[in-house]
Structure 1
Amino acid sequence: MDEPIRNADFSQRVVLATEALPWEASPQPGVARRILDRIGGEVARATSLVRYAPGSTFPEHEHALGEEFLVLEGVFSDEHGDYPAGTYVRNPPASRHSPRTAAGCVIFVKLRQMSLAESVRVVIDTAAFAADGPARLPLFEGPQSGESVAIERLRPGESRARHTSAGGEEILILSGDLVDAYGSYGKGTWIRTPHGMPGSGRSSAGTVFWVKRGHLPAPIRAS
Structure 2
Amino acid sequence: MTEFQPLRMDRRLPCRVGPQDQHWQAAPQAPIRRWQLEREAPESGQVTSLVEYLPGARFPVHRHPAGEEILVLDGVFSDQSGDYPVGSYLRSPAGSEHAPFSQPGCLIFVKLNQFAGDDQATVRLTADSANSVIFCSSVSGSLLHQHGCERTWLLDCRAGAELRWQGDPAGELLVVSGCLAEAGQTHRAFSWLRDTRLGELGLRAAEPSRLLLKFGALRGLQEDPEQ
- TM-score, normalising length: structure 1: 0.87
Partner residue of 2:175?
173
Partner AA of 2:168 in structure 1: S
1:156 positional shift: 1.8
1:147 counterpart = 2:150: yes
Q: Which residue does 1:12 correspond to in 2?
A: 13
Q: Per-residue CA shift, 1:154-206, capped at 9, x if unaligned?
A: 2122222365635x211101111111236221111110112687322212322
Farther off after superposition, 112-121 or 80-89 = 112-121
Greater length-normalized contact order (CA 8 Å, ≥ 6 residues apart) = 2
- What are the ranges of 5 or more consecutive residues in structure 1 without an aligned counterpart? none
- What do residues 10-33 of structure 1 show as CA deviations (whole Å, max 9, x unaligned)? 111111114650310111121110
Q: CA RMSD in A?
A: 2.4
1:25-36 correspondence to structure 2 within 5 Å: 25-36=26-37
Alpha-carbon distance in structure 2 between the residues aligned to 1:69 and 1:197 = 23
Name the structure 2 match of 1:203: 205
Deviations 1:40-61 (CA, angstroms, capped at 9, x unpaired): 1211200000111111111111
Unaligned stretches of 5+ residues in structure 2: 135-139, 223-227
SS in 1 for 2:46: strand
Runs of 4 or more consecutive aligned structure 1 residues displaced over 3 Å after TM superposition: 1-4, 161-164, 217-220
Write the mapping of 1:38-187 to structure 2, written as runs, cut at 5 A: 38-126=39-127, 134=134, 135-143=140-148, 146-161=149-164, 165-166=168-169, 168-181=170-183, 183-187=185-189
Distance in structure 2 (CA, Å) of the matches to 1:202 and 1:196:
12
Counterparts of 2:164 and 2:94, CA distance in 1: 34
The TM-score, its normalising length taken from structure 2, stands at: 0.86
